[in-house]
Structure 1
Amino acid sequence: MAINALGYLGVRSDRLDEWGSFAGQLLGMQKIDRGGKALAFRMDDRQQRLLVSDEPGETLAFMGWEVETAEDLETYGARLERAGVEVHWAAPNLCDRRFVGRLIWFLDPMGNRVELFHAPMIASDPFVPGRPIDGFMTGPLGMGHAVLHVKDIDVMLPFYRDLLDFHVSDYGLKPYGLYFFHVNGRHHSFAMVGSGQAGFHHFMVEFQNLDDVGQGYDLAQQEEGRVAYTLGRHTNDFMTSYYAHSPSGFFVENGWGGRVIDPDTWEPHETHDGPSFWGHERLYLSEEDGRKRLRDMRLEAAERGRRAPPVSDCPWLMGELAKQGN
């Protein structure tokens, strides 16, 4: 029994035109009109990875997590109900809107809607990106990752770790609490930021080609205020990325080269280097609100010689090089 990937995300927003441009042209997803009340976006052969519904709120509407077997829905549903969580079985029309075979949904302790599903539908026509890109790193790694603001990590941690079997990859306690979780080989598919707030922090999409990130970065810089974090590299998952302000205010991380781990042998641990080796300057923050503090952490890590391992220690990149050699 296992949840094995982030399958899709839903966003509430009445800014459909802006989302059409942002996700379709900047991120490079394929835009699909769902009848004027919603926009859907493809990233691969799945019918739908991102759904933006014409509703007020400008925030996360739901997270869709894929399970291995249809029986897993019964098992998780029973486990959650024993823990006092109200579980809903989706009617066929909701399954049709999500393009899945079966689905249950419930709320986490902070009111975020979580959906578990089985049997995602595959599109009959090929993926056509919204701008020229080589594609996204999806497949068994899922859509990417999602990160939430949380008021109380001590409440949220056992919910996702113990009830939903999310596995802690690593965590940091400075400058604020950060917990990262894996459900497959992607270093993390889910994370919590202990900011004392509630809401959606960001989601991440990973490109197959670093140039696709760089060209998107160039495009983002043509729009005043679009870039939220400058180009940089993270310390835990080694992702090279920049963050953009979405039309709904939360961030979207555009990344490449993320770390692939072995879930069977991985040991959770505390990290001490801060979020980034270099870059990721928080343009939206003032010096007093933490921008300087995060910059100082990067400079301190650099003084200590902290950096990602050499290419030979990157399983994904070595695998790609091996395929090209064949």
Structure 2
Amino acid sequence: MNTPAHQSVFGAVHLGYIVIETNRFADWRRFGTDAIGMHHDAPDTGLMRFRLDDQECRFLLRRGLAEDVMATGWHLADHATFERIEARVRAHGVPLVQGTDEEAALRGVERLLRFPGPKGVTQEIYTTPVKSAEPLRMLASGFVTGDSGMGHVAITSTRPTQIRGYYNTVFDARLTDCIDETISGVKLKIRFLRVNERHHSIAVAAVQGLPIDPIRTRVQHLNIQAATLDDLARSYQRVCELGFDMALSVGQHTNDKELSYYARTPSGFEWEVGWNPVTIDEATWQPTTHQGISVWGHTPVGRTIIDKLDQFRRGARSLIRPEAAVPALSGTGVFED
């Protein structure tokens, strides 16, 4: 039965904003404006926002102890798409909460709705982003957003199949490709999911054969796309000169061909700035598996044996700490990976 809720929303979903909880406002302001090069404003003493383009908010930072990503906001192309997704979530018995006018205003959006997501990251959907009349004040010349959304989110998980099922159920996400990689002797399989022409809006990494999660934070990294190669190079230089930790040096990925680097944010998760990834042609694209994440570069910076031991300890602790999940939307049994 092809009810409105069952009609595909693929292509009408775009990553729109990220909500972060932190108490390190001074460090985040330096990181976001002076290093990465984004526009900054502070609507309240307990709030901070960064812009990438004419949308009022792309990153909303609020005071708190988590030092983590709390929510991802998804811009939906029209009210019909909004209602299809709302109907899907309700049909699976998952609770939804309508955002207040104040919450919507802080995010610069209309018609805000939220519901639970994998790993405890709340999913928020909205229509009609509010455009800001204030000119951008950025060190970068610009960032790529538009029809492909503003970048991607990468997470590690002990339940990758369920997460893939979740994003397929809610957003009709498609598998773009996979990467098999071995890092410090640990074998990883990374799945890349797209919801529009961007190569991926969600990446899910899992340790093969072991139900462990070596990452403390809900997300492993966030990605934004620089408008020019010069923007990428200059931000890399600023990150280094300002003393922020560099996680991976400049390199090029095997699958989406994006040139990028990874810096470590004041909250501990990583921040990838990339340039020139491939755009997906739905008529010809076929999922494949690549060996290794990089064609060249992406060399770990400043890693010590202590860092690696800490990561393994976190992985061991995850064996007794259940991963937050939304089984009603996970599509268990649909995919075999």
Range class of TM-score, shorter chain: 0.7 to 0.9
The answer to whether the Cα contact below 8 Å between 2:34 and 2:238 also exists between their aligned partners in 1 is no
Larger CA deviation: 153-162 vs 247-256: 153-162
Instruction: Tell me the distance in 1 between the aligned counterparts of 2:91 and 2:144.
Output: 36
Name the residue aligned to 1:218.
237
The percentage of counterpart residues that share the same residue type is: 29
Assess, with a 3 A threshold, how the Cα gap between structure 1 residues 106 and 264 changes in structure 2: closer, same or farther: farther
Name the residue aligned to 2:294.
276
Instruction: Tell me the distance in 2 between the aligned counterparts of 1:43 and 1:109.
Output: 26
Name the residue aligned to 1:42.
51
Shift of 1:95: 1.6
Instruction: Tell me the distance in 2 between the aligned counterparts of 1:225 and 1:53.
Output: 21
User: Normalization by structure 2: what TM-score?
Assistant: 0.80
- Give CA-to-partner distance per residue, 1:29-64, whole Å, 9 cap, x none: 000012111110111110111111111110001100
Shift of 1:257: 1.4
Assess, with a 3 A threshold, how the Cα gap between structure 1 residues 161 and 190 changes in structure 2: closer, same or farther: same
User: Normalization by structure 1: what TM-score?
Assistant: 0.83
In the alignment, does 2:177 pair up with 1:170?
yes
Equivalent in 85, 102, 122 of residue 113 of structure 1 = 122
Structure 1: stretches of 5+ with no match in the other structure: 291-326
- Give CA-to-partner distance per residue, 1:253-309, whole Å, 9 cap, x none: 0111111112344222222x210011101225447959xxxxxxxxxxxxxxxxxxx
Name the residue aligned to 1:69.
78
Assess, with a 3 A threshold, how the Cα gap between structure 1 residues 82 and 111 changes in structure 2: closer, same or farther: same
In the alignment, does 2:151 pair up with 1:144?
yes
Name the residue aligned to 1:153.
160
Instruction: Tell me the distance in 2 between the aligned counterparts of 1:27 and 1:254.
Output: 8
- Note the aligned Cα RMSD (angstroms): 1.9
Bigger relative CO (Cα 8 Å, ≥ 6 apart)? 2
Instruction: Tell me the distance in 2 between the aligned counterparts of 1:71 and 1:100.
Output: 16
Instruction: Tell me the distance in 1 between the aligned counterparts of 2:149 and 2:14.
Output: 5
In the alignment, does 2:204 pair up with 1:186?
no
Instruction: Tell me the distance in 1 between the aligned counterparts of 2:66 and 2:99.
Output: 23
The 5 A counterparts of 1:14-93 are: 14-93=23-102
Shift of 1:128: 2.0
Shift of 1:100: 1.0
Amino acid at match of 1:140: D
- Give CA-to-partner distance per residue, 1:206-232, whole Å, 9 cap, x none: 111111111121222224461110111
Classify the secondary structure of the residue corresponding to 1:62.
strand
Classify the secondary structure of the residue corresponding to 1:79.
helix
Aligned length: 287
Amino acid at match of 2:19: G
